[in-house]
């Protein structure tokens, strides 16, 4: 059968498996490089730290202001990422063929600031675009776009989200939520900067509501941005020090595991990804042998 395939189709099939192997290898190498960077970057005290790529370790504190709540469970938290996915079948598939894909219907990621405090000082964490290892996660299923179950099981960051045996049906929704909480330990690697005062702060403090400005109902997204802006304004009154993503290629990492644990998980995950690459690579070689051997 392999020999009977048109050469162009055969090449596409082989390249597909080779591409899978390459992606797994790249993911594995990247994870191990991340682990080496975390291991090589010394932990600094926040107080007295100079601008640049830094690693801090302390505990999360909430910024005083509008509360941050996870969108699917409503649980108070310091950061969240959540998705609602719908099971979808491709045109022409029958009911017994099984699910073809999970399509994202809604996705939320918190951009609200949090404070990181160690024994020496405090800085603002701007979590936008961070690689986050959360305190816990949840994954559960339902038949409505918004979950009726608001109290799902919490799963640790190293536990598998999907059960070994999982039964779903057409029209099923899948909910996933990741969270960080105030009081959690936090290891942060990113670009640290101490900002100077600027005129906009005084304008924020002295600004009065314009009663003549027409009001309108904010969308959920606009309301989220407004809450986050208010929290950033409140955070500037606590400290001018910020850790966030920089403009370079070095990663911005937030994790509630210790440095040693994070390095261990990253190294093991990298080795596992490289190991997984053996399977598609072996299939590609087997196909080549079956046709030309």
Is residue 93 a part of any domain in this protein? yes
Structural domain of residue 104, as residue ranges? 7-292
Is residue 152 a part of any domain in this protein? yes
DSSP 201: H
List phi, psi (to 5°) of 194.
Answer: -105, 115
Is residue 80 a part of any domain in this protein? yes
- Residues 84, 145: contact at Cβ < 8 Å? yes
DSSP 43: B
Please indicate whether residue 222 or residue 158 has the higher confidence score (pLDDT): 222
Is residue 2 a part of any domain in this protein? no
Q: How confident is the model at residue 171 (pLDDT cuts 50, 70, 90)?
A: low
Secondary structure of residue 181 in the 3-state scheme? coil
**What mean pLDDT is reported for the chain?**
84
- Residue 78 CA to residue 179 CA, distance in Å, equals 7
| pLDDT tens string 30-84 | 878 878 877 778 889 999 999 999 999 999 999 999 999 999 999 999 999 999 9
- Residue 127 CA to residue 68 CA, distance in Å, equals 13
Tell me what pLDDT residue 33 has.
Answer: 80
CA 35 to chain centre: 17
Burial class (CB in 10 A: 0-12, 13-18, 19+), 192: buried
| CA separation, residue 222 to residues 79, 126, 153, 200, 225 (Å) | 18, 18, 30, 21, 5
Is residue 1 a part of any domain in this protein? no
Q: How confident is the model at residue 269 (pLDDT cuts 50, 70, 90)?
A: confident
Is residue 61 a part of any domain in this protein? yes
Q: What is the total count of domains within the chain?
A: 1
Please indicate whether residue 204 or residue 149 has the higher confidence score (pLDDT): 149
Q: Which two tokens stand for residue 132?
A: 């986050």
Q: How confident is the model at residue 6 (pLDDT cuts 50, 70, 90)?
A: confident
| pLDDT tens string 101-121 | 899 999 999 999 999 999 989
Is residue 136 a part of any domain in this protein? yes
Tell me what pLDDT residue 97 has.
Answer: 45
Is residue 57 a part of any domain in this protein? yes
């Amino acid at each position: 059968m392999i020999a009977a395939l048109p050469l162009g189709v055969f090449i596409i099939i082989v390249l597909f498996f080779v591409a899978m192997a390459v992606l797994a290898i790249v993911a594995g190498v990247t994870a191990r490089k991340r682990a080496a960077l975390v291991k090589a970057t010394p932990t600094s005290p926040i107080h007295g730290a100079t601008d640049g790529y830094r690693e801090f370790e302390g505990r999360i504190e909430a910024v005083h202001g509008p509360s941050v709540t996870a969108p699917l469970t409503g649980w108070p938290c310091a950061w969240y990422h959540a998705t609602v996915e719908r099971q979808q079948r491709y045109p022409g598939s029958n009911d017994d063929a099984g699910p073809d894909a999970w399509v994202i219907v809604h996705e939320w990621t918190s951009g609200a600031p949090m404070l990181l405090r160690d024994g020496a000082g405090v800085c603002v964490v701007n979590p936008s675009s961070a690689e986050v290892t959360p305190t816990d996660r949840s994954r559960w299923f339902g038949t409505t776009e918004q979950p009726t179950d608001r109290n799902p099981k919490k799963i640790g960051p190293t536990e598998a989200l999907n059960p070994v045996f999982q039964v779903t049906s057409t029209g099923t929704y899948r909910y996933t939520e990741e969270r960080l909480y105030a009081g959690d330990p936090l290891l942060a690697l990113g670009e640290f900067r101490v900002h100077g005062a600027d005129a906009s702060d005084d304008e924020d403090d002295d600004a009065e509501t314009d009663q003549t400005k027409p009001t309108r109902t904010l969308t959920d997204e606009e309301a989220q941005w407004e809450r986050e802006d208010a929290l950033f304004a409140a955070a500037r009154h606590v400290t001018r020090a910020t850790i966030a993503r920089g403009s370079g290629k070095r990663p911005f990492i937030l994790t509630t595991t210790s440095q040693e644990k994070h390095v261990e998980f990253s190294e093991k995950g990298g080795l596992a990804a490289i190991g997984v690459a053996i399977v598609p690579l072996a299939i590609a070689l087997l196909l080549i042998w079956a046709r030309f051997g």
